[in-house]
Amino acid sequence: MPREHAVVTGGGSGIGLAVVRRLINRGLAVTILDIRATATNVDDLPEGTLQAFDVDVTREPDVRAALATAARTAGAPTRLVTSHGIRGQYKPALELDLDAYRRVLDVHLVGTLVAARALVAGLPEDGARSGDRPERGSIVTVSSTTAYRGWADQADYGAAKAAVMQLTQNLAIEWAPLGIRVNSVAPGHTLTPMVQEMIDQGYDVTATQARTPLGRLCSPDEMAAAIEFLLLDATFSTGVCMPVDGGWTAVGK
Ligand SMILES: NC(=O)c1ccc[n+]([C@@H]2O[C@H](COP(=O)([O-])OP(=O)(O)OC[C@H]3O[C@@H](n4cnc5c(N)ncnc54)[C@H](O)[C@@H]3O)[C@@H](O)[C@H]2O)c1
């Protein structure tokens, strides 16, 4: 049987790259869609397991064209992880630049929808429903713990991530009859290039660590493990947003 084919947006870095490595270890062929895909260092991965395309996920024709090209080599993709993302402005709402605000919504929310419906539109008609895999495909989106509550200076990123969480539920309901599960993770602070850049610019993570019951940041591979579980193993879960945050959202104060 040909191996399954997964697409990882934002797979060039951080959480997405850790997902890419895990899925290849599980025997899947993987396609990265990333605005900086060709800068990805994946020389250690087995030959023939990976394709990579420089694509902005907000551009639907480019995403569809990349998936069609990737499908010619690895077959139609049946799995998708949307791990692309950019930082917000970290400013009070009154000071937000509106063009940058729209870009954060566009990348996180619109980009997730564009990638998700590109996958579903390209699914093979016959699907792969069988006793051991009673589904045609699955999707995991990436939200954030900032989606659960109001936070100062998060009117862009936090609102976009709350929208991703809601979109996940909407798609789960619409696409369950098609045999597609759609779930999400809500990461707490994970030590990726995105967070390292914040630390390098003076962001202090000690308060976050102190408020986190497990008392530390998440590693990209720990986050990828949760994503892999929802994508491939949690066959009766759909519409779920799973916090992966060391207990951050469980704290009552
Ligand atoms: N790291 C954390 O603590 C944390 C916490 C909560 C949520 N998240 C979310 O997890 C996801 C992964 O973040 P990360 O920490 O691995 O960051 P990262 O910066 O290491 O990786 C993000 C990737 O997305 C790509 N990207 C950005 N804009 C894109 C676009 N328009 N089209 C295609 N690719 C694009 C970047 O090139 C990069 O490779 C993001 O959605 C982020 O918001 C991260």
**pTM of structure:** 0.96
* Spatial separation of the C-alpha atoms in residues 230 and 22, rounded to whole Å: 13
Closest CA to 164 of 112, 233, 217: 112
Summarised one tens digit per residue, pLDDT across range 188-247 is 999 999 999 999 999 999 999 999 999 999 999 999 999 999 999 999 999 999 999 999
Cα distances from 232 to residues 42, 78, 238, in angstroms, run 22, 11, 12
The winner for highest mean pLDDT among 4-18, 29-43, 124-138 is 4-18
Domain extents for the chain?
5-125+135-250
Q: What distance in Å separates the CA atoms of residue 13 and residue 40, rounded to the nearest whole number?
A: 7
In ligand 1, which atom is closest to the CA atom of 11? 39
Residue type, 248: W
Ligand 1 pocket check for 208: Cβ under 6 Å: no
Our answer on whether the CB atom of 243 is closer than 6 Å to any ligand 1 atom is no
Catalytic residue, chosen from 90, 101, 148, 157, is: 157
Ligand 1 contact, 142 CB (< 6 A): yes
Compute the average pLDDT of residues 117-133.
Answer: 75
Quick check: CB of 16 below 6 Å from ligand 1?
yes
**What residue's CA is closest to ligand 1, atom 43?**
85
Res 100: pLDDT: 98
Q: Which residue, by CA, sits nearest to atom 11 of ligand 1?
A: 83
Six token digits for residue 237: 């879960």
- As a whole number of Å, the end-to-end CA separation of the chain is 51
* Model confidence band, residue 42 (pLDDT cutoffs 50, 70, 90): confident
Q: Where are the beta strands (DSSP E) in 144-206?
A: 180-187
Ligand 1 atom nearest to 87, measured from its CA: 43
Task: Name the token pair of 81.
Answer: 């992880």
Q: Give the residue, by CA position, lying nearest to ligand 1 atom 42.
A: 85
User: Which residue intervals of the chain are DSSP H helices?
Assistant: 14-25, 60-74, 98-105, 111-121, 157-175, 193-200, 206-211, 220-228
The three-class DSSP label of residue 33 is: strand
In the residue annotation, 90 being an active-site residue is answered as: no
Question: In one letter, which amino acid is 47?
Answer: E
CATH assignment of 5-125+135-250, among 3.40.50.300, 3.90.380.10, 3.40.50.720, 3.80.30.20: 3.40.50.720
For the CA atoms of the chain, what is the radius of gyration?
18
How distant is the alpha carbon of residue 131 from its chain centre?
A: 28
